[in-house]
């Protein structure tokens, strides 16, 4: 039996509206028509390269996989999506909605070129021309404007790591309610580590700002945990409906691990920090021994750790913005070799007990047996490696939160919840 994979993108408008809400509305039609069981897995929310020069708000595209009887049935679903999009999307400003779809017989055999296109859209810059060539090669169809690029990328999403997001929607005619930090803290504690980036101190992170129809979004590695937390908050704050998406958020999927500075990409650079200086805004300008440069914004909250790191061997990653001198905008730093050394007293050569200094240069005495001698101190490199991460509120969609380290891939083994849209 064939499958329809359909993607959408760029249905956000400046004055509200949101591509995830278009997908939600499409699925609500399926629910009302008794067709929701034809949805394979969960609908997918895919974030694309945050460093591209032209992008939609949040750079989100969406896709869904549906079991269909025939190509005709597939076309009916595509038409339904077109009708919904036409009704909902206010074509203002730069909004240029697009739909992409493909019908395949075997979900295990996705065309390589399509998965490649997804990877390139997350890590690099793609254009309309490339999207058209790829879609012709693999037999996918594109309908609409610039949004077809992200829509095509989303249908090529074959997750190796994934997370979930519970998105609750609100009535746009009424005032946005303020979500109480105490509620979020309680649920954050109860669902850890299977939800992440809920709150930073008392700053609630699950709530978007601006006019869009999203009331809040709870992200996590387990659909059951995001549903427990999300459902409670959805009831309390008067959501009009909710849905759970499978996403590439928080997976570091945008990292290329490439050591070359290529504009608009996320790259890694390894070197010794030779200087850290701060400009008038408090942003840290980092110079490495190999001549490469990086900038860490003050908001990341890592200035203090950075200034303690001159002399450390580090791996720095972030986005490259083109300019006179290519510079990395830091997302994270791993200290590979700490510059710090520790000086400790040796153990007693007679009994192995701890030794203390007598104050006079080099004279040490054993606390256990009283042995006294002039002995050299032990100098050891701490040689620990550690991560310098931004504060929670500074994480962007694709960046992997430290709480997720070790949970990679878990999401793909958890069965689909029975109730995932309301
Ligand atoms: Zn001793």
SS3 296: strand
44 lies in the same domain as 148: yes
- Say if 257 falls within a structural domain: no
167 Cα: distance to centroid of ligand 1 (angstroms): 65
355 Cα: distance to centroid of ligand 1 (angstroms): 7
372 Cα: distance to centroid of ligand 1 (angstroms): 8
Q: How sure is the predictor about 55, in pLDDT bands with cuts at 50, 70 and 90?
A: low
Percent of the chain with pLDDT strictly greater than 90? 72
32 Cα: distance to centroid of ligand 1 (angstroms): 82
pLDDT at 195: 97
143 lies in the same domain as 7: yes
- Say if 274 falls within a structural domain: yes
- Say if 252 falls within a structural domain: no
pLDDT digits (tens, 9 = 90+) for 191-229: 999 999 999 999 999 998 777 899 999 999 999 999 999
374 Cα: distance to centroid of ligand 1 (angstroms): 14
What six digits make up the tokens of 149?
């690029």
Q: Identify the CATH number of the domain in which residue 182 sits.
A: 3.30.70
- Say if 24 falls within a structural domain: yes
**Which of the 8 DSSP states describes residue 405?**
T
347 Cα: distance to centroid of ligand 1 (angstroms): 8
Q: Identify the CATH number of the domain in which residue 291 sits.
A: 2.40.50.1010
66 lies in the same domain as 192: no
375 Cα: distance to centroid of ligand 1 (angstroms): 13
pLDDT at 132: 97
128 lies in the same domain as 188: no
pLDDT digits (tens, 9 = 90+) for 330-381: 999 998 888 777 888 999 999 999 999 887 777 899 999 999 998 888 887 7
382 Cα: distance to centroid of ligand 1 (angstroms): 26
State how far the Cα of 100 lies from the Cα of 152, in Å rounded to an integer. 5
CB neighbours of 167 closer than 8 A, spacing ≥ 6?
20, 24, 214, 216, 217, 242, 243, 244, 245
Domain closes at, from 142, 158, 174: 158
What six digits make up the tokens of 259?
């050591």
Average pLDDT over residues 92-105: 89
Q: How sure is the predictor about 17, in pLDDT bands with cuts at 50, 70 and 90?
A: low
144 lies in the same domain as 169: no
- Say if 355 falls within a structural domain: yes
152 lies in the same domain as 169: no
119 lies in the same domain as 204: no
pLDDT at 260: 87
pLDDT at 322: 81
214 Cα: distance to centroid of ligand 1 (angstroms): 68
365 lies in the same domain as 229: no
Q: Residue 56: is its pLDDT beyond 70?
A: no
348 Cα: distance to centroid of ligand 1 (angstroms): 5
Q: Identify the CATH number of the domain in which residue 73 sits.
A: 3.30.70.2200
- Say if 404 falls within a structural domain: no
Cβ contact 205:393 at 8 Å? yes
- Residue 77 has phi, psi (to 5 degrees) of -65, -40
18 lies in the same domain as 52: yes
379 Cα: distance to centroid of ligand 1 (angstroms): 20
Domain closes at, from 137, 158, 179: 158
336 lies in the same domain as 352: no
383 Cα: distance to centroid of ligand 1 (angstroms): 29
Domain carrying residue 316:
266-340+384-391
pLDDT at 11: 87
364 Cα: distance to centroid of ligand 1 (angstroms): 10
pLDDT at 16: 61
378 Cα: distance to centroid of ligand 1 (angstroms): 17
- Our count of domains for the chain comes to 4
pLDDT at 353: 94
7 lies in the same domain as 149: yes
- Say if 352 falls within a structural domain: yes
124 lies in the same domain as 69: yes
Domain closes at, from 143, 158, 173: 158
Q: Residue 287: is its pLDDT beyond 90?
A: yes
342 Cα: distance to centroid of ligand 1 (angstroms): 22
363 Cα: distance to centroid of ligand 1 (angstroms): 14
State how far the Cα of 256 lies from the Cα of 280, in Å rounded to an integer. 32
């Amino acid at each position: 039996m064939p499958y329809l994979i359909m993607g959408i993108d760029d249905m956000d408008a400046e004055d509200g509206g949101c591509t995830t809400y278009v997908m939600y509305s499409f699925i609500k039609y399926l629910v009302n028509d008794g067709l929701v069981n034809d949805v394979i897995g969960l609908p997918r929310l895919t974030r694309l390269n945050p460093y591209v020069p032209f992008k939609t708000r949040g750079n989100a595209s969406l896709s869904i996989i549906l079991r269909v009887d025939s190509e005709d049935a597939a076309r009916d679903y595509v038409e339904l999506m077109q009708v919904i999009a036409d009704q909902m999307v206010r074509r203002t400003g730069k909004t240029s909605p697009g739909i992409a779809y493909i019908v395949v017989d075997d979900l295990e055999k996705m065309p390589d070129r399509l998965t490649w296109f997804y990877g390139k859209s997350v890590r690099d810059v793609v254009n309309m021309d490339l999207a058209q060539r790829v879609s012709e090669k693999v037999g996918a169809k594109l309908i609409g404007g610039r949004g077809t690029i992200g829509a095509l990328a989303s249908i090529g999403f074959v997750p190796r790591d994934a997370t979930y997001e519970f998105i609750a929607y609100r009535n746009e005619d009424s005032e946005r309610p303020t979500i109480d930090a105490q509620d979020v803290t309680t649920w954050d504690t109860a669902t850890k580590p299977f939800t992440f980036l809920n709150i930073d101190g008392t700053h609630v992170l699950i709530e978007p700002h601006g006019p869009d129809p999203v009331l809040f979004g709870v992200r996590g590695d387990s659909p059951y945990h995001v549903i427990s937390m999300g459902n409670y908050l959805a009831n309390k704050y008067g959501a009009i409906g909710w849905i759970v998406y499978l996403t590439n958020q928080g997976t570091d999927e945008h990292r290329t691990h490439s050591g070359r500075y290529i504009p608009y990409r996320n790259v890694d650079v390894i070197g010794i920090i030779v200087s850290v200086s701060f400009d008038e805004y408090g942003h840290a300008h980092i110079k490495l021994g190999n001549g490469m440069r990086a900038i860490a914004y003050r908001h990341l909250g890592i200035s203090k750790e950075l200034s303690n790191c001159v002399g450390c061997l580090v791996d720095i990653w972030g986005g490259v913005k083109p300019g006179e001198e290519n510079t990395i905008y830091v997302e994270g730093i791993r200290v590979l070799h700490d510059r710090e050394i520790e000086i400790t007293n040796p153990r007693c050569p007679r009994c192995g007990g701890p030794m203390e200094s007598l104050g006079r240069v080099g004279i040490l005495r054993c606390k256990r047996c009283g042995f006294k001698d002039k002995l050299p101190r032990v100098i050891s490199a701490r040689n620990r490696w550690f991560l310098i991460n931004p504060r929670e509120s500074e994480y962007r969609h694709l960046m992997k939160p430290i709480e997720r380290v070790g949970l990679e891939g878990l999401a793909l083994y958890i069965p689909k919840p029975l109730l995932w849209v309301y």
